[in-house]
Amino acid sequence: MRNVLITGASRGIGAETARLFAENGDNVYINYCSSVQAAETLQWSLTQKGFSAKTIKADVSSSDSVQQMFADIEKDCGGIDVLVNNAGIAQIKLFTDITNDEWDKMVATNLSSVFYCCRAALPYMIRQKFGRIVNISSMWGQVGGSCEVHYSAVKAGIIGLTKALAMEEGLSGITVNCVAPGVITTDMTAHLTEDDLKALKDETATGTLGTPYDIARTVLFLADHHSSFITGQVFGINGGSVL
């Protein structure tokens, strides 16, 4: 049984990823910051089915909070074998209207959090000569998105961090990969109109939007023991909207 930490796991992609890892027989830590009810409901639904899942609160944009989370996990199970950096926020706004605070929050939540969690997870992974890190970026980190400059910038930063860290940790038996989702049907798309959703579907080769399951299945594959020859890669799960 592997110990798996998924950040931002109370809903959407994170929740579906937690479910798949738990069903795979892993011991899953469901990280959340403010969505306590959603996290506890997910944990309850998994444990009721006989799976191993625990909630753990931490603000992953804070180095101190991340350090405390990993200290608590170390006391509980020894360390994390698989880290999925999923926590993130999005915002649509003209570049010239982005405030300093909005920029700083975007960087802290989406990019600094990945740095903090990887840094905290690696000592245990290096000691045991095994680890799997999967970072969730975005297709906008690959191609850039109008009115999402700050979001695109930090998601591109995740891709750069992934590639560099993979080079550094490969000899320690640790793989580091990145998943770049396209438009996925989650809470982040719930505000869109039917016309908006149709336009987004029309931009894909498949004529469909993605689901959290599409992303979670890819993450589970990359975290497998048999995926040891895959590292430093970016997997675009976007229905062919970015080729």
* CA Rg value for the chain: 17
Could you give the dihedral angle defined by the CA atoms of residues 169, 59, 13 and 136, in that order, rounded to the nearest 10 degrees? -30
Say if residues 178 and 156 touch (Cβ distance below 8 Å): no
What's the CA gap between 77 and 217, in Å, rounded? Answer: 25
3-state secondary structure of 184: strand
149 contact partners, CB below 8 Å, separation of at least 6:
95, 98
Q: Which of 29, 32, 151, 213 is catalytic?
A: 151
What's the CA gap between 220 and 223, in Å, rounded? Answer: 5
Residue 116 annotated to the active site: no
Helix (H) or strand (E) holding 121: helix 113-128
* Placement of tokens 């999967």 in the chain: 134
Q: Please identify every residue annotated as catalytic.
A: 151
